[in-house]
Amino acid sequence: MSRKLLVLFLVLLLAVMALAACGGAKETAAPTEAAAVTSAPTATEATAAQPTEKPAMQEGEGMLATVKARGKIICGVNQAVPGFGFLQSDGSFAGFDIDFCKALAAAVFGDATKVEYRPLNAKQRFTALQAGEIDVLIRNTTWTLTRDTELGANFAPTTFYDGQGITVRKDSGIKTLQDLQGASICVSSGTTTELNLADQMAANGIEYTPVVFETADETTGAYLDGRCDAYTTDKSGLVARMSMFPHPEEHMIMDVTLSKEPLGPVVRQGDDQWFDIVKWMVFATFQAEESGVTSQNVDDMKNADDPNVRKLLGTEGDMGAKLGLDNDWAYNIIKQVGNYAEIYNRNLGPDTVFNLARGMNSSYVDGGLLYSPPFR
């Protein structure tokens, strides 16, 4: 097959896949192998940022080399969830997930600003990842077996342990799942949310009508317009979106959790070095919190006696070189973006409108689930 024909074939294949993804609850995306080495345009590009000088993935080249040659990381993000991934009125992106994009840039370039953000809705994200349009997806994405296998994704450590919840109007009288018998429920397509809802309602024998939309704006807009009795997504998303409601005090998050939603960064399968870099970028933020290293004291901590801290910060050993990075990669993350607690508090902590309790998202030393393997 000539190159032209091959490109045409891939474009058609991706277009068909994108259409299929719009169809229903089952999650679909292009086969990884065909898509991973091409930068052929897909349905996602209509809403994505302008094409970059260099596509995300070059054939026969590792991701780290590709990213370094380009001079920035292309991070697939959310633009509609305040506190996590949000496009602000000045055109900049902010949030917990956004800070992990910055941390990756700090690790790779020693400069947290070297990021291009690609806003993606739920359905677009895996196609964009597989097509090589983004280097990493950091967008309230749940780790599931299907995504880890059939969707050709590799999941870095969970950065936010979440669960699915339901928002209703306080005056609706709805309190339990059973109260949703016969209700209409607004939900976003291409999400675990849509699938969990179907499973949980069926398991509990509750008849309901899903009212499905592509974006958070449409989903919450329909709920606020009274087209649904309830609105469901990750609890983090419920809190985040409620902060945008005209009258948040009229709504409440029900005391039910429909699922486990471990959220974290995702890369394409097929590049172990890049996967390692993204994993250890996350671990560096966990370890820094555990060891008491912050953006404020990181310079002094370089001279700490603790061998773990010395290795983390590159005073001792060659941890960076093992990842293909400079030895001050983790120092740069902590100095420029902060440890996990700093990232959490900046975006979601007591001084924000969200004021989310750390709960499971605490270090294991504080009874939470965040645990870094040893830096050695």
Ligand X SMILES: N[C@@H](CCC(=O)N[C@@H](CS)C(=O)NCC(=O)O)C(=O)O
Sort strands 93-94 and 208-213 into parallel, antiparallel or unpaired.
unpaired
- Contact between residue 266 and residue 141 where contact means Cβ atoms under 8 Å apart: yes
Minimum distance of ligand X from residue 362's CB (angstroms): 20
Q: Is 345 in the site for ligand X (CB under 6 A)?
A: no
Query: Which is nearer to ligand X, 27 or 290 (by Cβ)?
Result: 27
The owner of tokens 């309830």 is: 230
Nearer to ligand X by Cβ, of 141 and 327: the residue is 141
Calculate the alpha carbon distances from 68 to 73, 143, 197 in Å.
8, 27, 42
Using CB under 6 A, which of 39, 44, 154, 188 touches ligand X? 188
Contact range with ligand X by CB under 6 A, out of 17-25, 42-50, 186-194, 359-367: 186-194
Element (H, E) at 233: strand 230-234
In the complex, least distance from residue 223 CB atom to ligand X, rounded to whole angstroms: 11
d(Cα 199, Cα 70) in Å, to the nearest integer? Answer: 43
What minimum distance in Å lies between the beta carbon of 194 and ligand X?
Answer: 8
- Please give the Cα distance from 144 to 27 (Å, whole number): 11
Between CA 141 and CA 118 the distance in angstroms is 15
Would you mind telling me the total number of residues written for the chain in this entry? 376
Phi-psi group of 135: left, alpha or beta (phi > 0 → left; psi -120 to 50 → alpha; rest → beta): alpha
- By CB under 6 A, how many residues form the interface with ligand X? 20
Asked if 97 interacts with ligand X (CB under 6 A), we say no
Q: What is the three-class DSSP state of 98?
A: helix
Which listed range, 64-72, 106-114, 148-156, 214-222, lies at the site for ligand X (CB under 6 A)?
Answer: 214-222
Widest pairwise Cα distance in the chain: 64
Does position 237 interact with ligand X (CB under 6 A)? The reply is yes
Q: Map the footprint of ligand X across residues 306-325, applying CB under 6 A.
A: none
Helix 340-348 to helix 272-290 angle, to the nearest 10 degrees?
80
Please state, in angstroms and rounded to a whole number, the distance separating the CA atoms of residues 21 and 35.
Answer: 15
Between the two ends of the chain, the Cα-to-Cα distance in Å is 49
Phi and psi at 274, nearest 5°, equal: -65, -40
Q: Which is nearer to ligand X, 38 or 121 (CB)?
A: 121
Under 8 Å CB-to-CB from 209, ≥6 apart: which residues?
183, 184, 185
Taking CB under 6 A as the rule, does residue 121 contact ligand X? Answer: yes
Identify whether the C-beta of residue 225 lies closer than 8 Å to the C-beta of residue 197. Answer: no
Minimum distance, C-beta of residue 310 to ligand X, in the bound complex (Å): 37
* Contacting ligand X within 134-163 (CB under 6 A): 140-142
Q: Nearest-5° angle of CA 255, CA 238, CA 85?
A: 145
CB 261, min distance to ligand X, A:
5
Does residue 80 interact with ligand X by CB under 6 A?
yes
Stretch that binds ligand X, among 175-183, 185-193, 252-260, 331-339 (CB under 6 A): 185-193
| Nearer Cβ to ligand X (240/319) | 240
**Residue 192 in contact with ligand X, rule: CB under 6 A:** yes
- The single residue among 75, 136, 216, 337 that binds ligand X, judged by CB under 6 A, is 216
Nearer to ligand X among residue 76 and residue 320 (C-beta) = 76
What whole-number distance in Å separates Cα of residue 71 and Cα of residue 54? 9
Site string for ligand X, 22-61 (x = CB under 6 A): ----------------------------------------
336 binds ligand X (CB under 6 A): no
Selected binder of ligand X within 97, 133, 261, 271 (CB under 6 A): 261
Is 234 among the residues that bind ligand X (CB under 6 A)? yes
Question: Is residue 165 within 8 Å of residue 257, measured between CB atoms?
Answer: yes
Counting contacts by CB under 6 A, is residue 196 touching ligand X? no
Q: For ligand X, which residue of 38, 158, 167, 191 counts as binding (CB under 6 A)? A: 191
Q: Contact positions toward ligand X, by CB under 6 A? A: 78, 80-81, 121-122, 140-142, 188, 191-193, 215-217, 233-234, 237, 261, 263
